[in-house]
Chain A
């Protein structure tokens, strides 16, 4: 029987969901809704009788103080009603917890034919609302057709008895699971089948695959298990393992790099090996705090004598561009599995975000799948639910805007964990699988999720087709699993653990079986969300919230008992062997039998042509702009720009202090609203040690040269750590590349060779900077196709590519958190210093961008000079000489003086003439808005003046003014002439107004 329970807030209570809808409809589309109430609907398909349903309604789903509910449609007046429900197969987290509650309260367990589904309807009042308006609200605010469906009812169409008449959104496949073989008689045949089946095999891999399966020895081996031609399971396995996602073919590819200016050509054999692996391994030898790098799900560094920390970062771009909420929540919950699957498993203690999106006010003709404004809303909310419900503080984050990200927006998510150095007497960062150990899958169940990415088109949907290609992360299920696995780890039950992400079991089991040199998998044991999946689908499904774990058979009972206690589903799905074979069975029949070393069989490297034309040769020049007359206007204008202004509304939605270790928060200053340079967290509450974390994104510099984009990004991340008290000798790096397509094609990607050269240059810069500063790369990832083909006004499609972007994250360990420094000036009378020299470096700066210019003089990092500055400041903070310290970043000294006065709530008297410069004669606007790297603004108590200046002797360091409470203005002069004179309150108004309406 199908029953619908409807629940709504009492009429006299503020309906926050309704209010939010009214606000958005007006702000986004100018649609005026007079009143909106939201009704939650719980649809139950079961054999529960009326008493059971009534009990569920009253006890589980209704709050007697705030809500009304009914087993028949609630009689709420409306002009229009919109019903929104999930498509079949989309993860319905609330439906799942409802089933848990009913099981507990009524003792009712749901059979596979039964289930609980949640949906909503919105009752709208508005005299002028038309069906077109209401459908727009339904389609473009309330739902996304990829995961949801909606129906619109006019009040005259509404039957008060049947209401929205919600039916269960259940998946019915009616499909007998099967395993097929594939013809490989010619390369063309296999290429055609690869195309038909979406295998995405690289044409150059095809001969290698055929050669393997046609090998006589291989054929003889296969005959023994009843196989000859390759099966779909086997080809899917190869396709996953050889994908750019899993195999990093781009970074391991061959680049022929030509510099047009010199005419020289160099062959780069593997960017990864040359510029990431080699320097990192060299640095690992020199830095004894580096514990484990380059092989596991995340890098591992020393935190203190007893604990190691774990760090990794990811992007989740493509899914977030289709379904922003689902993509982002899946992204953050997904990256949180990496530390859980590093070593023997770590406990998560912080995360961060980075969003790069198009102009949120874009009103031009191009039509991205989601408007940047809607995309940002969804992404923010996804990370909110994913992060907060994981119980992990989101302590840092950045959001930036550039038209290039309308083609594809970027969603960066980063995760840090902590683990004891030894677990049950063994080093926690080591793990392996051994023959005889059991393969266990824990966590969620397997459905058609994420198979072959977004291949299904909206037209092919019918009411029971699973819309599983876009997923919705389930932090609740994962949090239970997180807690459960830590107990297992501490009891010494786990010998190997890894997460199921891209490639699903195919990757996690395939890779972990390399260590024991073989495995046998029993696919029929894998718990499914619904029946009817083919073997290959079970094998490569990317259903979320799953870990693959190896345990010794003698520990199985204990492991399962703990799994039951924590209400986590765990299943033995196979066994590790040393047979040298990946052996997959389904009900005893073999459906895959390939050599574990198949992937080493000489698959060809990818190849790229890279052609570098230097910026001046490309025709870039400095713009000609005279010194402005209205500096007050320039400064407030800069502060209001989207890439500078306050994004407090995003940060406040994220719990940044759960776990109780917050030291330097993401927002600081007297009004707690200024973004800090870096966050500092105590992951071990009984210790005074802290983990400092910062990130940097400076993609604009790629407009001139991605080499300097990279050096400046790393320098900024390091500078931010130093500013809060980080240690220069312990800086861990994390590189997340997001690059537009670098494969040249004269028609579809004519500038591919240039973008490839930019990638080579960025990698060279990565190595140069890491070696100069001694930064091992603890972890890193790449996302190589950040382009979109957007439909325009005439049915044409234009390719929009993102800027060449790298997010750099950096970590440092602070011995005594009570010595940490924040950026706000604290005491009147303190002296203001600038450390680091300012040059004529406004190329691709925020200032030039305000005038629509790019320029040529991109900031360049002076590694040796900066190194000395960083060490001096580290010492100054350790000696507690600094009252405040702030890394100068985007917008230069002008913007960051303003940021400091807002943060301190105090006046400042500044003389630009004193600012140390690289060459004399810089006009005021260049001193104020140059983005030269390696600079800080800081304040020092007068009694520490001498000691501080002695420590900085020989450095570009000068006192440029004082902090004051005799007035509340930022007063900047240059050689006696007043440049700006603005009340701090006015700076605040400018800084906060751009997104001031958002909460």
Chain B
């Protein structure tokens, strides 16, 4: 087969499934939105897919910690399928609520090849509130993460009340030392925010906006690359467009949107599996 198939979870209060599916389609994959209960019932099989996306939303209302019940539901019902999926070298991405689900499942950080341990938490923002803003992210060029290969500084929106990555100091150190830290919140110049609000919108340790497992194939991040699927999503696009026009350029032409991140994932599958 030559089609990269991406499965995007839906149901139970998840809400970014349409744009996440669109992002994968734009990136060249065939995207399927699949209800969690369809997987649980075995009517759809993870094994038939290459990429599994845990998208944004408020699964189970996030009433008992963001992503907690979603993680429990999947662990209880298709836990082994998930571990097999990872073991086969396929890709898992968790965005926002999906990232929270991945750390609660233990698929992240996946230290010592243990994909069940909960050693990182994503908790309430230091600012004490839900917050929608665009953030600047600086990628770690030494990270094994397959989704961010070749990416330079990017801007994506964050929209969360619980986005602060915390863990025991030794876990944080391991993540940093292993280059598992993929994205850091940065200031306007692209330098790490050093915890300063609002560049770091939630107070995450080490400005961590996203990290991956040691293989780089399981990746979670708080910002939403799928919400930057068109150059007009960026808050500064009207100014960029006007500047481009004055220089005789076609507006939006050189813009790298969030789709690039999904393309990296799709291309990895093509290179590895086909």
Docked pose: A475 CA to B235 CA in angstroms: 28
Is B270 interfacial (CB 8 A cutoff)?
Answer: no
Closest to B10 in A: A483
Docked pose: A655 CA to B127 CA in angstroms: 16
Count A-B pairs with CB separation below 8 Å.
Answer: 201
Q: Is the CB of A65 within 8 A of B119?
A: yes
Q: Is the CB of A659 within 8 A of B19?
A: yes
Chain B residues, CB < 8 A from A20: 128
Given the interface pairs A104-B72, A655-B130, A999-B129, the reply to whether A476 lies near B13 with Cβ below 8 Å is: yes
Chain A residues, CB < 8 A from B62: 389
Q: Is the CB of A384 within 8 A of B13?
A: no
CB distance from A370 to the nearest CB of B (A): 20
Closest to B160 in A: A655
Q: Is the CB of A97 within 8 A of B69?
A: yes
Docked pose: A118 CA to B124 CA in angstroms: 19
Given the interface pairs A66-B166, A94-B64, A655-B130, the reply to whether A660 lies near B37 with Cβ below 8 Å is: no
Residue among B119, B134, B238 with the most chain A CB within 10 A? Answer: B238
Closest to B120 in A: A65
Q: Is the CB of B233 within 8 A of A97?
A: no
Is B4 interfacial (CB 8 A cutoff)?
Answer: no
Chain A residues, CB < 8 A from B209: none
Is B142 interfacial (CB 8 A cutoff)?
Answer: no
CB distance from A318 to the nearest CB of B (A): 26
Docked pose: A388 CA to B96 CA in angstroms: 13
CB distance from A915 to the nearest CB of B (A): 25
Please provide the chain A residues from 653 to 704 with a CB less than 8 Å away from any CB of chain B in the complex: 653-665, 667-668, 670, 672, 682, 685-686
Closest to B59 in A: A476
Q: Is the CB of A657 within 8 A of B238?
A: no
Is B242 interfacial (CB 8 A cutoff)?
Answer: yes
Q: Is the CB of A101 within 8 A of B60?
A: yes
Q: Is the CB of B226 within 8 A of A101?
A: no
Chain A residues, CB < 8 A from B65: 63
Q: Flag A539-579 by CB within 8 Å of B: 1 or 0 each.
A: 00000000000000000000000000111000000000000
Given the interface pairs A672-B133, A672-B235, A821-B238, the reply to whether A658 lies near B61 with Cβ below 8 Å is: no
Is A990 interfacial (CB 8 A cutoff)?
Answer: no
Q: Which of B45-53, B177-185, B213-221, B245-253 contacts A (4 or more CB under 8 A)?
A: B245-253
Docked pose: A995 CA to B267 CA in angstroms: 48
Residue among A59, A653, A658, A665 with the most chain B CB within 10 A? Answer: A658
Chain B residues, CB < 8 A from A448: none
Given the interface pairs A60-B72, A100-B60, the reply to whether A655 lies near B159 with Cβ below 8 Å is: yes
Is B194 interfacial (CB 8 A cutoff)?
Answer: no
CB distance from A530 to the nearest CB of B (A): 21
Is B149 interfacial (CB 8 A cutoff)?
Answer: no
Q: Flag A61-81 by CB within 8 Å of B: 1 or 0 each.
A: 101111000000000000000
Is A822 interfacial (CB 8 A cutoff)?
Answer: yes
Q: Is the CB of A104 within 8 A of B76?
A: yes
Q: Is the CB of B63 within 8 A of A97?
A: yes
Q: Which of A16, A822, A941 contacts B125 (CB 8 A)?
A: A16
CB distance from A684 to the nearest CB of B (A): 10
Q: Which of B41, B60, B124, B229 contacts A97 (CB 8 A)?
A: B60
Interface bracket on B: 35 or more
Is A817 interfacial (CB 8 A cutoff)?
Answer: yes
Q: Is the CB of B128 within 8 A of A999?
A: yes
Is A826 interfacial (CB 8 A cutoff)?
Answer: yes
Q: Which of A19, A660, A821 contacts B128 (CB 8 A)?
A: A19
Docked pose: A664 CA to B73 CA in angstroms: 38
Q: Is the CB of A13 within 8 A of B232?
A: no
Residue among A20, A651, A656, A659 with the most chain B CB within 10 A? Answer: A659
Please provide the chain A residues from 892 to 951 with a CB less than 8 Å away from any CB of chain B in the complex: 941
Is B168 interfacial (CB 8 A cutoff)?
Answer: yes
Given the interface pairs A65-B118, A565-B37, A655-B159, the reply to whether A391 lies near B167 with Cβ below 8 Å is: no
Docked pose: A529 CA to B238 CA in angstroms: 51
Q: Is the CB of A97 within 8 A of B61?
A: yes
CB distance from B15 to the nearest CB of A (A): 3
Chain A residues, CB < 8 A from B64: 60-61, 94, 97-98, 101
Closest to B14 in A: A391
Docked pose: A61 CA to B104 CA in angstroms: 12
Q: Is the CB of B203 within 8 A of A14?
A: yes
Chain B residues, CB < 8 A from A474: 61
Residue among B16, B64, B125 with the most chain A CB within 10 A? Answer: B64
Chain B residues, CB < 8 A from A467: none
Chain B residues, CB < 8 A from A657: 132, 157, 159, 224, 227, 233
Residue among B57, B130, B226 with the most chain A CB within 10 A? Answer: B130
Docked pose: A653 CA to B166 CA in angstroms: 22
Is B138 interfacial (CB 8 A cutoff)?
Answer: no
Chain A residues, CB < 8 A from B159: 388, 655, 657-658
Q: Is the CB of A101 within 8 A of B69?
A: yes
Residue among A653, A661, A664 with the most chain B CB within 10 A? Answer: A661
Docked pose: A822 CA to B60 CA in angstroms: 37
CB distance from B260 to the nearest CB of A (A): 15
Docked pose: A682 CA to B22 CA in angstroms: 13
Docked pose: A422 CA to B251 CA in angstroms: 35
Docked pose: A853 CA to B23 CA in angstroms: 55
Is A204 interfacial (CB 8 A cutoff)?
Answer: no
Please provide the chain B residues from 19 to 44 with a CB less than 8 Å away from any CB of chain A in the complex: 19, 22-23, 35, 37-38, 41
Q: Is the CB of A818 within 8 A of B251?
A: yes
Is A641 interfacial (CB 8 A cutoff)?
Answer: no
Q: Is the CB of B58 within 8 A of A476?
A: yes
Is A824 interfacial (CB 8 A cutoff)?
Answer: yes
Q: Is the CB of B241 within 8 A of A658?
A: no
Chain B residues, CB < 8 A from A884: 238
CB distance from A357 to the nearest CB of B (A): 19
Q: Is the CB of B232 within 8 A of A824?
A: no
Is A850 interfacial (CB 8 A cutoff)?
Answer: no
Q: Flag A821-832 by CB within 8 Å of B: 1 or 0 each.
A: 110101100000
Chain B residues, CB < 8 A from A390: 15
Is B268 interfacial (CB 8 A cutoff)?
Answer: no
Given the interface pairs A14-B203, A391-B16, A659-B19, the reply to whether A653 lies near B129 with Cβ below 8 Å is: yes
Chain B residues, CB < 8 A from A93: 61, 63
Is B11 interfacial (CB 8 A cutoff)?
Answer: yes
Residue among B60, B77, B246 with the most chain A CB within 10 A? Answer: B60
Given the interface pairs A658-B16, A660-B227, the reply to whether A14 lies near B76 with Cβ below 8 Å is: no
Closest to A824 in B: B239
Q: Is the CB of A105 within 8 A of B58?
A: no
Is A583 interfacial (CB 8 A cutoff)?
Answer: no
Is A880 interfacial (CB 8 A cutoff)?
Answer: yes
Docked pose: A19 CA to B128 CA in angstroms: 8
Q: Is the CB of B241 within 8 A of A818?
A: yes
Q: Is the CB of A479 within 8 A of B60?
A: no
Docked pose: A100 CA to B36 CA in angstroms: 14
Chain A residues, CB < 8 A from B132: 651-657
Is A759 interfacial (CB 8 A cutoff)?
Answer: no
Chain A residues, CB < 8 A from B229: 660, 685
Chain B residues, CB < 8 A from A60: 64, 68-69, 72
Closest to A349 in B: B18
Kindly list the 6 A-B residue pairs having the minimum CB-CB distance in the complex, ordered from nearest: A391-B15, A660-B19, A65-B121, A476-B61, A94-B63, A822-B238
**Sample of 6 further A-B pairs with CB below 8 A, known A66-B123, A101-B68:** A20-B128, A60-B72, A61-B64, A685-B22, A685-B230, A822-B238
Contacts from B to A (Cβ < 8 Å): 10-16, 18-19, 22-23, 35, 37-38, 41, 56-58, 60-65, 68-69, 72-73, 76-77, 104, 118-121, 123-134, 157, 159, 166-168, 203, 224, 226-227, 229-233, 235-236, 238-239, 241-243, 245-246, 251-252
Query: Could you give 27 example pairs across A and B, Cβ below 8 Å?
Result: A60-B69, A60-B72, A61-B64, A63-B65, A63-B121, A65-B166, A94-B63, A94-B64, A97-B69, A98-B64, A100-B60, A100-B69, A105-B72, A389-B13, A391-B13, A476-B60, A565-B38, A566-B11, A654-B132, A658-B15, A659-B18, A660-B227, A660-B229, A682-B232, A826-B243, A827-B242, A880-B245
